[in-house]
Amino acid sequence: MIPEIGHLLLIIATVLSLLLAIIPMLGLSNNNAYLISYYRLLSNMMISAFIGAIICLGISFITNDFSVAYVADHSNTQLATFYKIAAIWGSHEGSMLFWVSAIALWTAIIANTHANNHHAFFIRTVSVLALVIFGFSLFIIFTSNPFVRLLPNFPIEGRDLNPILQNIGLIIHPPLLFLGYVGLTVCFAASVAALIGKEFTQQHARYLRPWALMAWVFLTGGNAFGSWWAYNELGWGGWWFWDPVENASFIPWLVATALVHSVTMSERLGQCKKLTLFLAILAFSLSLLGTFIVRSGVVQSVHAFAADPTRGMSILFLLIVFAGSALGLFATRAQYIQTRDKFALISRNSLLLMGNLLLVVAALSVLLGSYYPIIYRVLTGVTISVGAPYFNSIFVPIVVILSLLMGLAPLLRWQVDKRSNLTVPAILLLISTITAAIFNVALEQANVWFFLGLASVTWLVLTIMVAIIQHQQGADKHHSRRFYAMCLAHLGVAMAILAGTVVSNLEQEEVLSMGPNQGRELAGYTFVFEQTQHVTTQSYDALQANIRVMDSNENPIAYVYPQRRTFKTNGMQMSAAGVHSSPLKDLYVSMGTPLNDTEYLIRISYKPLINGLWLGALMMMIAGLVMVFGCKSPLYSHQSQTARPLKQLQTLSQSQALQEPTS
């Protein structure tokens, strides 16, 4: 009965989303405030139905209702309760329901925040969001219904959740990515609403900015935590593989980064408005493309969902409809968007614009390398591969140039061409180059990429320090919160670049056979395989190696416990790495297949500064959140003169409901 209630609630939510997409727009076109006023009620009813559907699915998991196909495929009576809850979004059907429900929640927040403000821009934004929800709800009902029954014959025991997913990563990583995609959906809807109204003002950009920031924060966390999950769970010891499915979420992040900077210029200066609208549409479209790649089965990846051509074609259809319609609208309506795109040759504006263009180029380069082999295989039947050398050769130089722009921009003024300002940056660039060269020689690294990475990091740190000094000496402290958050974000980028550069060039690794009472030295540490022991948990049996790690003086500093796990429900085997972490390094050991009765294939690794990758991402997330909650927007501030919330543009009465927003 519970699954049927969930299915019914899903259908009700779908109908409500269609009504929400139509009725307020009808009221807007007919100047009928009575019809417009329904958008709050409809959005609240819609999100209530979606939440009810998720609760019903959760009850089915917790009660082990294996008559539900989705539960039978992804749960088991032995599965821990918190993994049963996480399994709601652990595979395709449940993750789509979670995603659409999150969009509905954001829609309800927007509708309730502006319940007494019948502004055409908000009404159109909510209606476009509802239309997106309607499309994906139909997709769920007809191709990906999580409430499908296996009656009358159903198993008495489930297949269990994929062992790779039985990790804290499942609890955190997918929701972060989905929330990032939801933020991009809001930006997409707001951009379409602005194009329909033929106007995108600085106040509109002020409203859009926190949503762009939230999307960027969640995507940053999703990508970073996914990298950490793969590093710890898969036993390969790598943190990024340029896998097509990894790139599916990384590409929208690059465009979202450009969007955050572009919308800042639109809000503060009234510039790059058309670029902001285009980037919002592009980021959402790329997130849909990534969804298609992950869920259609066109690529084989440990990260991909099960292949289903019907689902893939349905998502491709939605991509064509939404992206095609929005791009067509942009092509016909962008000419009406008034903007002040006049840039001084040497100014912060021009550098931000160049940085945005480079980010788009980087995204398109990764897109080409990820999906060109797929297109080539479809057209010719011949399989080709594009690996890390392509991505590194394209992406690393772009990162170096972006670092140069990122450090220089805060030292320049908005819209002011002062060539004398380049004296200090030139000195800092010289210091950075010399410092990187010294470290390159000292560490015996005849590597241009290592040199460029260190130079970029030194440049960023020095320019941020100088920018802070200049800011403290300046008279304008109005944007101090935003400025210091920007500095923290850029320091996070510097930290990530430093960690990636160091670990990529200085890590040491060996794959060898080891058994009890055998040892091996690596990077000044001695790894001694003491013994093996059997470990039993509720979900799996494991053969565990107890490995003692000693320093150069043979003093024990840690034990690591890599395991070879065999899951009870399906017999699947996988490795779980043993990691000794510290701020400056990781000592990483993974256990492979047995080579004979006593010896095993063991991978031992020394990974300097690798935790800086995720620390840098965390710094970026914190900076983004500070900027979100410091935004002067209707969502996060009182109606102060400084904030200039959108209500001050027009608080429409019934007779004003048709009016367009003014600049």
229-284 pLDDT, tens digit each: 889 887 788 888 898 888 999 999 999 999 999 999 999 889 999 999 999 999 99
- pLDDT on residue 297: 64
Spell out the residues 6+ positions from residue 378 whose beta carbon is closer than 8 angstroms to its own: none
Q: Is 344 exposed, middle or buried (0-12, 13-18, 19+ CB in 10 A)?
A: middle
Q: Which residue has the tokens 């990530």?
A: 496
Furthest C-alpha separation in the chain: 86
Spell out the residues 6+ positions from residue 10 whose beta carbon is closer than 8 angstroms to its own: 49, 50, 53, 97, 137, 140, 141, 145, 147
- pLDDT on residue 654: 38
Determine, yes or no, domain membership for 1.
yes
Angle between helices 309-333 and 168-197 (to 10 degrees): 30
- pLDDT on residue 119: 82
Please calculate the CA angle 430-436-442 and round it to the nearest 5 degrees.
135
Asked whether 59 and 26 are in contact (CB, 8 A), the reply is no
- pLDDT on residue 556: 93
DSSP per-residue codes, 400-418 = HHHHHHHHHGGGS-TT---
How far is CA 99 from each of CA 89, 90, 109, 183, 245, rounded to the nearest angstrom? 9, 12, 16, 11, 18
Asked whether 649 and 119 are in contact (CB, 8 A), the reply is yes
- 641: tokens are 């003169």
Determine, yes or no, domain membership for 48.
yes
Asked whether 99 and 140 are in contact (CB, 8 A), the reply is no
- pLDDT on residue 373: 87
Spell out the residues 6+ positions from residue 301 whose beta carbon is closer than 8 angstroms to its own: 243, 244, 245
Q: Is 490 exposed, middle or buried (0-12, 13-18, 19+ CB in 10 A)?
A: buried
CA distance 168 to 173: 8
The sign one gets for the Cα dihedral 395, 401, 405, 407 is positive
Asked whether 255 and 289 are in contact (CB, 8 A), the reply is no
DSSP per-residue codes, 50-75 = HHHHHHHHHHHHHTT-TTBHHHHHH-
Out of 166, 186, 210, a domain closes at 166
Determine, yes or no, domain membership for 366.
no
Asked whether 494 and 578 are in contact (CB, 8 A), the reply is no
- pLDDT on residue 647: 38
* pTM listed for this prediction: 0.91
CB atoms within 10 A of CB 619: 21
How far is CA 458 from each of CA 172, 444, 484, 637, rounded to the nearest angstrom? 33, 19, 19, 37
Determine, yes or no, domain membership for 30.
yes
- pLDDT on residue 171: 87
| Torsion angle of C-alpha atoms 433, 438, 441, 444, degrees rounded to 10 | -100
Distance of CA 158 to the CA centre of its chain: 31
Instruction: Report the domain count for the chain.
Output: 2
Beta partners for residue 579, in sequence order: 588
Q: Which residue has the tokens 């980037």?
A: 279
Asked whether 161 and 75 are in contact (CB, 8 A), the reply is yes
φ, ψ of residue 559 in degrees (nearest 5): -120, 140
Out of 609, 629, 651, a domain closes at 609
Asked whether 119 and 661 are in contact (CB, 8 A), the reply is yes
| Torsion angle of C-alpha atoms 350, 351, 354, 359, degrees rounded to 10 | -140
CA distance 565 to 503: 28
- pLDDT on residue 507: 95
Determine, yes or no, domain membership for 517.
yes
Strand 585-594: give its sheet, edge to edge.
Answer: 508-514, 600-608, 585-594, 578-582
Positions of the chain with pLDDT lower than 70, given as ranges? 115-118, 297-308, 415-421, 475-479, 631-663
CA distance 209 to 180: 14
How far is CA 561 from each of CA 422, 524, 596, rounded to the nearest angstrom? 54, 20, 20
Asked whether 53 and 4 are in contact (CB, 8 A), the reply is no
Asked whether 175 and 140 are in contact (CB, 8 A), the reply is no
CA distance 370 to 434: 36
- pLDDT on residue 305: 55
Q: Closest by alpha carbon to 158, among 568, 524, 594?
A: 568
- pLDDT on residue 612: 97
CA distance 362 to 247: 12
Determine, yes or no, domain membership for 534.
yes
Domain that holds residue 550: 508-609
Determine, yes or no, domain membership for 28.
yes
Q: Closest by alpha carbon to 543, among 480, 591, 511, 608?
A: 591
Pairing relation of β-strands 540-550 and 525-536?
antiparallel
Determine, yes or no, domain membership for 133.
yes
